[in-house]
Amino acid sequence: MVKLGIWDRYGRRTFSIFIQLINSLFINKNNLKIMNAKLLKNLFMTLVIAIFISSCSSANDCTMASDEGVAKVKELVKKHVDINECKIYRIEWKEDRQERKLENVLSQISVDYIDKKDNDYNLTINYTDGEFVPEEPRKGKFASNSYKYTTAIEIDGMNAEEIRHNIASGGELVILQEEGEQYEFKSVEKYMLYMRPVPKDYEDHWKKWGDDKKKEYRQLRQMFELNFIKKDEQKEVRGRHVWTNYYTVPFETNEAGEVEIEQ
């Protein structure tokens, strides 16, 4: 699926719909068309410019996949979650959803984790007025996941260079479409690291499972969404508002660590 969003500069989203991803946008592995080197170079230059810039209009701004942005995610997660007492199994960070949409600014971090009593928590940290402000952690109603058998995400193992490589690979998949040259990369909608938690109901099974079965609970998954605009689509001015169409394409890494468009 691809999400079509229409956004105005005053932060009001008129609608967000899901449409079937057309053949010209999704990759067809049996019918790849190799684009010329200049086109690919232009794509990667666009990606590099958008991703590597570490600050925007404010001294505290971080872009989604810059060294500073990933370091900030790590810093805030470790500051607000006791990783010695809890296991983190999901980290997701998102760009701004309001007036700075498509500017690639890190604006929200969400963390799911389990404590030693098998309590589940969700923590959200929002970027507000130039500062990252944590909300009160929300405790799950039920102890549904096993702290003992769940594999925690290694926070210090988060690698900005690897994340940028995955993003660039996703951009390449789009540009290799039959009409991919029509799309221009704008921003990272969100990026997520996920380690599948082991349900408490599976604790007895876990002791009997072999390594092949346990592997699916020990492999880090990476999922992200990239926003594109169509080069030939003009912005619309309606009164005091400027409207922009953008197209969100979801990606994920497979078992081999390769980036694929999420089906």
6 in a structural domain = no
Confidence of residue 192 (pLDDT cuts 50, 70, 90): very high
Average pLDDT over residues 130-134: 95
The per-residue pLDDT for 45 is: 54
Least confident of 8-12, 130-134, 219-223: 8-12
The per-residue pLDDT for 113 is: 98
The per-residue pLDDT for 263 is: 82
pTM confidence score: 0.82
Helices 160-175 and 37-52: crossing angle in degrees, nearest 10, is 140
Query: What does the mean pLDDT of the chain come to?
Result: 83
Q: What percent of the chain has pLDDT over 90?
A: 62
Say how far apart CA 90 and CA 113 lie, in whole Å: 7
The per-residue pLDDT for 1 is: 45
Token pair of 162 as six digits = 């690897």
Average pLDDT over residues 159-169: 94
The rounded radius of gyration (Å) of the Cα atoms in the chain is 20
For residue 160, pLDDT over 50 is answered with yes
61 in a structural domain = yes
The per-residue pLDDT for 13 is: 38
Say how far apart CA 109 and CA 126 lie, in whole Å: 7
Average pLDDT over residues 181-196: 94
Confidence of residue 35 (pLDDT cuts 50, 70, 90): very low
Count: domains in the chain: 1
53 or 186, higher pLDDT: 186
- Distances 117 to 16, 120, 130, 140 between C-alpha atoms, Å: 40, 9, 36, 12
33 in a structural domain = no
15 in a structural domain = no
Contact 78, 113 (CB under 8 A): no
For residue 126, pLDDT over 50 is answered with yes
Least confident of 93-107, 108-122, 237-251: 237-251
Average pLDDT over residues 30-47: 51
- The domain of 121 spans 53-241
Token pair of 139 as six digits = 């405790």
134 or 172, higher pLDDT: 134
214 in a structural domain = yes
The per-residue pLDDT for 54 is: 45
Contact 198, 150 (CB under 8 A): yes
| DSSP, res 145 | B
pLDDT tens column, 210-237: 999 999 999 999 999 999 999 888 887 8
Say how far apart CA 177 and CA 62 lie, in whole Å: 31
List the beta strands (DSSP E) in the chain: 2-8, 13-19, 86-95, 106-115, 120-128, 131-134, 138-139, 183-194, 221-230, 236-238, 241-253, 259-261
The dihedrals phi and psi of 132, each to the nearest 5 degrees, come to -90, 120
The per-residue pLDDT for 162 is: 95
The per-residue pLDDT for 240 is: 76
For residue 48, pLDDT over 80 is answered with no
4 in a structural domain = no
Average pLDDT over residues 150-156: 97
For residue 173, pLDDT over 70 is answered with yes
219 in a structural domain = yes
46 in a structural domain = no
Average pLDDT over residues 91-100: 93
Average pLDDT over residues 10-32: 37
The per-residue pLDDT for 51 is: 55
